Structure 1
Amino acid sequence: MKNFWTFLFILICNFAFSQKTMQGQVIDFDTTVPIAFAKINYNNKTIISDWEGKFSIDVKDDKKPIIFKYKGYYDKTHYFTEGAKFLIIKMVNDNTMKEKEIYSENEVNLIVKKIIDNKYKNQPEKVFKSFEYKNYEHLLVTANPDSISSKIDTTYKKSIFGRKKIVLDSTNYKLKKLVENQHIYQTEKVNLIQFNDQGTKETVLASRMAGFKKPLYEYLGLNLVSYSLYENQLDILEIPVRNPLSTYGRKLFVFKLIDTVKIDNRTVYRIYFQPKKLNSDKLRGLLFVDAENFGIAKAFYRIYGIININATFTFNYMKEHRIWFPEKRKFTVVKGNNSEDLKIFGGTIKFNSSLEGIKKDASDQLYLKLESTPYDVKINEPVSFKMPSIKIDVPEASMTKPDSYWKPIRKDTLDVRRIRTYTNLDSLSVSENIEQKLLFGRKIINGYLPVSIIDVDLKTLFKYNNYEGFRLGIGGVTNNKLSEQYKISGYVAFGFKDEKFKYGITPSYLLNKETNTWVNASYVDDLSEIGQIQFATQARRFKIYDPRPINISTFYNHKTFSGFIESQYIPKTTSYFGISRSEVLPLFDYAFAPNDRLYQNFNLTTAQFAIQWNPFSGYMQTSTGRLEIEKRFPKFSLQLTKSFNNIIGSDFDFTKVDFKIIHEIPYLSGQNTAFLLQSGYAVGDTPLTHLYSIAPNNLNRETLFQRITFAGKNSFETMFFNEFFSSKYVSFHVKHTFNKVKVAYKIKPLISVVTRMAWGNMDNRESHLGFEYKTMERGFFESGVEANQIFKGFGLTFFMRYGPNALPKFEDNFALKLSYVLDLGF
């Protein structure tokens, strides 16, 4: 009997030690995207990887192959690897299948159709007349201390003379000690979400941000992930993403029915979805769908690429309303398959890849995590709010809630690192004056240097053009330290070539703080480029240099008195109305002869109305005014200018209408496509100074290298200065910007491809004397490539002119330009 038990023990031990477990993840070789539900064959048995491509398999015989299969990929054969804790199985695309689409099975296709058809029964905004709830939201940047090595590394760096020197790198050690004690960064807020027949409104009830006495408004408006899963587009990192449950979702995604499970004692389908196109690096996920009402009970969304995003949505079933209502959102951002940093809150934070088993740098172990939890839910009770067009309202009182307010609200009482984060970062903010530095940075990025009660206007300090030569000046505007009710802006400059002073002054008074309504008066004695197109509502853009005027010699002097009002009173708009009186003197060989009367200088009395409308943007109402927190496209600008004859000595009667549409499509990969459609129409006796030259930016010189200058923004790089003029025109610009391309160490240019075109003609051409130009009835076309930020902000652009207005000399159709992009890090 004793021998029997001994034999049995040896047999069991032998069996136990001979059976080994292999764990791993199946991913795409090129994109590193996990391959969901791949078939794994071993020893005449088949298992399936989960929806994240992960698997666990028991191996008895090391010599037998493990075969991985997935439609659209070559089979992958692997053998057990001794000592490997976690294996990454990389499968290669079958090029013969690469362009083919995968289609959903009929059964799951019908279920998805019912989800879409039953939205009106399951989406709270469609079911309820009104609802409201409070929402606690906590965001942090942190890392798992266990993922970071405390080892102090020794690295070798080359000196200027090529000699190797030893450098001790304690970054890992310091970071590990920091995250053991606290999180890197954190913020939290409580907001009230309200819905009625006017729409949805968010009111911030309380907020705080570690290191800041008052939270940044940009954070309060940050929308990292959508609240609802039923809209046609989902917001992820403030970028619209196509929703698989939209009306066109079944055309873009393939769905797979996995099984059925129970949630809240209700049967739900578990459905996996991914893009139809193989090798498409976009949204994937797992849906839990109620088998009775086809509402979403739970959802997991994933995006793998430049950044890796994990989003989890859970819902609570309301029996009395037979609907799944939001219960919690979790959102995590980690670094993907790129070497660039992900920027947020004006700083730079590094995030690591979510694939297991890959060694990363310590800073790459950081991740961003957002959690939001609704509570105090009220259904179909009376709900009212003001200004439905304003998406978020931030009362001043929400900024100063005491610690006692947060204790009963905070959901995670076990995380002791949270309290330490607030204490340590608050002290760090005081010692290093972080808050003031960030406010300083905001002004710098808009072109102002704060000095006591005055913000110095950096744009006025230095300029150069062919008429004035070097132009030095000083200007600025008073800030809130002097007064919040009024401000005075002004400047003075001197041109060393024309030896004349130019100046301007504009006192302003604040009529309404909430709508940012200012009434202004102004006097200017200065130069302006002829034929330029300016919208009064156009946002100020700061440049250290303005490249186009450097090579311009055709200006006009104007002495202008004006009064104008700027306001955001109309929701989602910025509007301008002004009246001005100008004395205009062309500073080039030109005379205007309407109705056989000759003018070499003239007076204009004009009224101007301009409006910019951003219908798809989201706005926040704060104590200091309205902020555009969600910059969505398209955006529309309209400007009407009317000159009156014989009013305060005005010489001409003309009307101008200018229109512009800007549209941008951002992608989660970091790429961007931008469109600009712009047109203008002038009718009546309009002098050439106030017509359209459509932003040319090329020198009329003999060789390509003699024409090298700085490239402009939305300017025609192959069009010569003063080559074309129009009284009516239309132009169209398309630009696609790719991700940075690593060419060499620290050389990572930002590549863009650009196409521009324009058409125009000129009425009453015989009235403009002494000035030769062409018109564009047949159209003007150019295309090119921009390689920006090659080194220290400098880059190169190359453009080619073609079409009916191509020049006879082949070389003259090309333009090579320098570019410069200033990155202040904000």
Structure 2
Amino acid sequence: MKKSWILGLFFLTQILFAQKIMHGQVIDYDTTIPIAFAKINYNNKILYTNWEGRFTVDIKDESKPINVSYKGYHDKSHYLSVGAKYIIIKMVSDNSQANQEMYTDNQTNLVIKKVIESRNQNQPEKVLNTYEYKNYEHLLVTANPDSIASKIDTTYKSRWFGKPKLVLDSTNYKFKKLVEKQHIYQTEKVNLIQHSKYGTKETVLASRMAGFKKPLYEYLGLNLVSYSLYENHLDILEVSVQNPVSNAGRRMFVFKMIDTVKIQDRKVYRIYFQPKKLNSNKLRGLLYIDAENFAIAKAFYRVYGVVNINATFSFNYLKKHQIWFPEKRTFTVVKGNNTEDLKIFGGTIKFNSSIEGLGQNASDRMYLKLESKPYDVKINENVIIKQPAIRIEVPESSMSKPEGYWRNFQRDSIDRRKAPTYINIDSLSAAEKIEHKIFLGKKIFNGYLPVSFFDIDLRTLLKYNNYEGFRFGIGGVTNDKLSEKYRLGAYVAYGLKDNGWKYQLTPSLLLDKETTTWVSASYTDDVAEIGQIQFATQSRRFKIYDPRPINISTFYNHKTANAFIESKYIPKTEMYFGLSRSAVKPLFDYTYVRGTEALTDYNLTTAQFAIQWNPFSSYMQTSTGRLEIDKRFPKFALQLTQSFNHLLGSDFSYSKVDFRITHEIKYLSGHETAFILQSGLVFGEAPLTHLYSIAPNNLNKDALLKRITFAGKYSFETMFFNEFFSSRYVSLQARHTFNKVKLAYKIKPEISVVSRVAFGTMENQNRHIGFTYKTMEKGYFESGIEVNQLFKGFGVTFFTRYGPYGLPKFEDNLSLKISYVLDLGF
């Protein structure tokens, strides 16, 4: 009996050792993107990878290969390595099939078609009259301690003389000890989501961020992933991608029916989707479609690229309303197929790819995870939404909830690292003055340096142009430390070349804090560039220098008294209205002739109304005012100016209309395309100083190298100063910016291709005497390339001029400039 037992154990051992379970994953050789539902043939047994490209196979004979096939790829035979526990099979694209498309079978295509047709019957925003729920959201940056080796590595550091020095590297060990005790970063938010026929609004009920006494408004406004899965575009990391269940999505994606399953006792189809053309789109996913009403019951989305993004949406079926309502969403980000860092909250966090994950630094194991879960859901009850055009409202009371409030959301959590994270990061933030540094950075980003109760305007400190030479000055505005209701702005400057003093004084009164409405008066004695195009609502951004005025020599002096009001009273707009009286003196040879009257200096009395309208942007209402948190395009600007003849001694009567449309398209790949359409019209008589020169930026010199100066961002680089003037014009600029290209260590330029065109005419041209210029009826064209941030922010630009106003000498049509981009990291 004993011998039989031993013999049986021997045979069992042989069977166990003769057969083992092998786990693996099939991925694209070039992109490392998993290949879903690839066909695997091993030992005459057929199986398929799942939607993540993973598979499990029973290995009976290690000498036999695993054969993998998939449309668009070369077949691959993979032989097992001795002792391998996990295998990665990399498949190479078949170029002969690269342009071939995959197609959806008829049955699956019919299901997807019904999903699209039924969107209005399944989307909560369209079906329900009102709904309201609270939402708890937890975001953390962390790492799994078990995935990090605790050993101390040894490396050799080269020396100038002698043998290399042995160095101990304890980074992984210290990082593992850190993440065993706490997360790298975390933040929590509780918000109230309300929807009615007027729209959807979010009100922040409570929020806290590790290291901050008051959470950053910029974080509270982040829209990382769309709440609704039925819109034509989905928002992923604030970049729009085409929704697969849309009419356009059917043309871009191929759908594959996997099987049918049960969710809440309802039959649902499990359907996988991926791009029709290989590598043409990096969005893939798995949809669970209700077989009865064709609604989305669950969804997985994954984006592969600079970062790998996983988004999971769960829904709860409400029998009473016959609709799937959001139940939970989870969002994770890991490093993708790139060598760059992913920046979060102004810092730099390194993420690792989730595909292979071997031989990486400990910090590369970090990932970002966001979870949000609705509760206290109310359907079709009375919901009153104040100011529905404001997407997010942040009351002051939401910033200071006690610790006991947050314990209510920890009953389902066993995360022991959560509490130590707040304690340790709060202490670190206080010691390093991180909150103050961010406050200071925001001020500098807008061009100010706070000193006690006064914010110094950094633009007033130093300037240079051909008329004033070096211009030294100081100016700024009082801040909230002095008063929240009153402010006083002022500057004084002196030009070394013209030996002239310039100054401005602007007192202001706050009429309404919520709408940021200020009424102001000012008096200015200064010089200004002739023919410049400036919108009163144009936002300012800090520039370490303003490149265009450096080579400008044609200015006019103006003494201007102005009274104006600025407001954001109407949602999604910024408005300006002002009345001014100016005494203008051109500082160059110029006379305006009207009959027998010749004017070498003149007075202007004008009224001006300007509005900036951003209809697609989202706004946040805070205790300090209204903020644009989600900048969407296109944006529109309109400015109307009316000059009144004989009023307060005014010498001109004209109407002026300025209009601008800006549009930007950001791609998940990191590329960006931008357009600016701008036009100006003057009706009546206006002096040359107040017409249009279309922002030229080229010196009138005969050699290319002598014309090298600094490039502007929106100026015409090949157009000579004072070459063209118009009383009516239209211009279009187009720019496409590519991802940064790594040429060498720390040399990663940003390359853009740019084209510009402008048309213009001039009325009453014979009345402008003493100044020679041309007009642009036939159209002015230039195109070029910008290589920005080559080194320390400096780069080069190259443009060429062509078309009807191209110059006979080839070299005169070229422009070579130096560019400078200051990256503050915001």
TM-score (normalised: structure 1): 0.98
Provide the residue aligned with 2:681 in structure 1.
Answer: 681
Aligned to 2:508: 508
Change (3 A) 1:660 1:430: same
Partner of 1:823 in structure 2? 823
2:592 aligns with 592
Q: Which residue of 2 aligns with 1:26?
A: 26
2:799 aligns to what?
Answer: 799
Write the deviation string for residues 738-768 of structure 1: whole angstroms up to 9, x where unpaired: 1111111111111111111111111111111
Shift of 1:235: 1.1
Counterpart CA distance in 1 for 2:766 and 2:296 is: 70
Question: Which residue of the partner structure matches residue 127 of structure 2?
Answer: 127
Q: Distance in 2 between matches of 1:293 and 1:5?
A: 60
**2:773 alignment counterpart:** 773
Deviations 1:319-376 (A, max 9, x none): 2222111100000111111122222222222211111343222222111111000000
CA contact (8 A) 1:523 1:561 kept: yes
- Kindly state the Cα deviation for residue 167 of structure 1 after the two structures are TM-superposed: 5.1
Q: State the distance in 2 between where 1:83 and 1:637 align.
A: 67
* Partner Cα distance (1:579, 1:682) in 2: 19
How far did 1:39 drift?
Answer: 0.8
Return 641-650 or 208-217, whichever deviates more.
208-217
**Paired residue secondary structure (2:598):** coil
Aligned equivalent of 1:201: 201
1: CA distance between counterparts of 2:362 and 2:117?
48
Does the aligned pair in 2 maintain the 1:156–1:164 contact within 8 Å? yes
The residue that corresponds to 2:554 in the other structure is 554
User: Which whole-Å CA distance do the structure 2 matches of 1:157 and 1:818 have between them?
Assistant: 39
Residue by residue, what CA displacement relative to the aligned partner does 1:248-289 show, whole Å, maximum 9, x if unpaired?
221111110000111111111000011222112421100011
Tell me which residue corresponds to 1:363: 363
Give 1:694's aligned residue: 694
Partner residue in 2 for 1:738: 738
CA apart distance, 1:528: 0.7
Paired position in structure 2 for 1:335: 335
Q: Give the 5 Å matches for 1:528-607.
A: 528-607=528-607
Residue identity in the other structure for 1:143: A
Q: Indicate conservation of the 8 Å contact 1:36/1:51, yes or no.
A: yes
Change (3 A) 1:499 1:167: farther
More deviation in 44-53 or 568-577?
44-53
Equivalent residue, structure 2, for 1:639: 639
Assess if the C-alpha contact under 8 Å between 1:594 and 1:685 holds in 2: no
Q: Aligned residue pairs: how many? A: 826
Give the 3 Å change call, closer, same or farther, for CA 778–98 of structure 1 in structure 2.
same
**Helix, strand or coil: the match of 1:714?**
coil
Kindly state the Cα deviation for residue 158 of structure 1 after the two structures are TM-superposed. Answer: 5.9
Cα offset, 1:706, TM superposition: 1.1
Name the counterpart of 2:375: 375
Greater shift, 113-122 or 358-367, is seen at 358-367
Query: Aligned partners of 1:152 and 1:374: how far apart in 2?
Result: 44
The correspondence of residues 146-295 of structure 1 with structure 2, limited to 5 A, is 146-156=146-156, 168-295=168-295
1:127-156 per-position Cα deviation (integer Å, ceiling 9, x unaligned)? 211110000011111111122233344445
Does 38-47 or 300-309 show the bigger shift? 38-47
Give the secondary-structure state (helix, strand or coil) at the position aligned to 1:740: coil
Name the amino acid aligned to 1:404. G
1:719-752 per-residue CA deviation (whole Å, 9 max, x = no partner) reads: 1111111111111111111111111111111111
Q: Structure 1, residues 387-422: CA drift from partner, whole Å, max 9, x if none?
A: 011111111111111111111133542001111111
CA distances 1:12-63 after superposition (whole Å, capped 9, x unpaired): 3223212233322111122221111111112222111110111122222222
Residue 220 (structure 1) shift = 1.1
Quick one: which amino acid aligns to residue 321 of structure 2? H
TM-score (norm 2): 0.98
Q: Which amino acid aligns with 2:84?
A: A
How do 1:288-303 and structure 2 match up within 5 A?
288-303=288-303
Q: Partners in 1 of 2:633 and 2:491 — Cα distance?
A: 35
Structure 2: stretches of 5+ with no match in the other structure:
none
- Per the TM alignment, residue 87 of structure 1 is displaced from its structure 2 partner at its CA by 2.3
- The residue that corresponds to 1:325 in the other structure is 325
Change (3 A) 1:167 1:522: farther
Tell me the distance in 2 between the aligned counterparts of 1:815 and 1:552: 17
Instruction: Select between 610-619 and 810-819 the one with higher mean Cα deviation.
Output: 810-819
Report if aligned partners of 1:98, 1:279 keep a CA contact under 8 Å in 2.
Answer: no
Which residue in the other structure is 2:619 paired with? Answer: 619
1:112 aligns with 112
**What CA distance in whole angstroms lies between the structure 2 residues aligned with 1:233 and 1:717?**
37
Distance 1:199 1:411, change over 3 A: farther
Aligned to 2:758: 758
Name the SS of the counterpart of 1:110 in structure 2: helix
Q: Which amino acid aligns with 2:374?
A: P
CA shift at 1:161, angstroms? 9.8
Q: For the residues of structure 2 that align with 1:271 and 1:658, how far apart are their CA atoms?
A: 52
Question: How far is the alpha carbon of 1:166 from its aligned partner?
Answer: 5.6
Measured in 1, the distance between the counterparts of 2:582 and 2:388 equals 41
CA contact (8 A) 1:288 1:296 kept: yes
Q: CA RMSD in A?
A: 1.6
Letter in 1 for 2:242: R
Residue 80 (structure 1) aligned with residue 86 (structure 2): no
Closer/same/farther in 2, CA of residues 646 and 613 from structure 1, 3 Å limit: same
Distance 1:704-1:166 versus aligned 2 partners, 3 A rule: farther
Are the structure 2 counterparts of residues 167 and 588 from structure 1 closer, same or farther at C-alpha, using a change threshold of 3 Å? farther
Alpha-carbon distance between aligned partners in 2 of 1:597 and 1:776, rounded to the nearest angstrom: 28
Please tell me the residue identity of whatever aligns with 1:760. Answer: G
CA–CA distance in structure 2, aligned partners of residues 793 and 160 of structure 1 = 32
Amino acid at match of 1:500: G
Following superposition, the deviation at residue 596 of structure 1 comes to 4.2
Structure 1 residues 62, 623: CA separation in 2 closer, same or farther (over 3 Å shift)? same
Task: Note the residue ranges of structure 1 that are not aligned, 5 or more in a row.
Answer: none
CA separation in 2, counterparts of 1:411 and 1:254? 43
In structure 2, the CA distance between the partners of 1:354 and 1:411, relative to structure 1 (3 Å rule), is farther
Q: What is the Cα deviation at residue 514 of structure 1?
A: 0.2
Query: Deviation at 1:776?
Result: 1.0
Contact 1:660 1:676 in 2 (8 A): yes
Partners in 1 of 2:546 and 2:157 — Cα distance? 39
SS at match of 1:111: helix
Mean CA deviation greater in 365-374 or 423-432: 423-432
Residue type at the aligned position of 2:378: K
Shift in CA distance, 781/51, structure 1 to aligned 2, threshold 3 Å: same
Q: d(CA) in 2 for partners of 1:699 and 1:21?
A: 74
Amino acid at match of 1:328: K
Give the Cα–Cα distance (whole angstroms) in 2 for the partners of residues 169 and 777 of structure 1. Answer: 68
Structure 1 Cα separation of the partners of residues 741 and 283 of structure 2: 24
**Residues 409 and 4 (structure 1 numbering): CA distance in 2 closer, same or farther, change over 3 Å?**
closer
Against the structure 1 CA distance between its residues 175 and 6, is the aligned structure 2 distance closer, same or farther, given a 3 Å change threshold? closer
Paired residue for 2:408? Answer: 408
Q: 1:223 to 1:707 in 2, by over 3 A?
A: same
2:418 counterpart letter in structure 1: R
Residue 602 (structure 1) shift: 0.8
Cα shift at 1:157: 5.3
Displacement of 1:7? 4.7
Change in CA separation of 1:765 and 1:448 when aligned onto 2, cut-off 3 Å: same
Preserved CA contact (<8 Å) 1:22 1:80: no
Change (3 A) 1:627 1:159: farther
2: CA distance between counterparts of 1:725 and 1:793?
33
Seen in structure 2, the aligned counterparts of structure 1 residues 802 and 156 have a Cα distance that, compared at 3 Å, is: farther
Separation in structure 1 between the aligned mates of residue 154 and residue 600 of structure 2, nearest angstrom: 75
How many Å apart are 1:447 and its aligned residue?
1.0
Contact 1:639 1:659 (C-alpha < 8 Å) held by counterparts: yes
**Given residue 305 of structure 2, which amino acid in structure 1 is its aligned partner?**
G
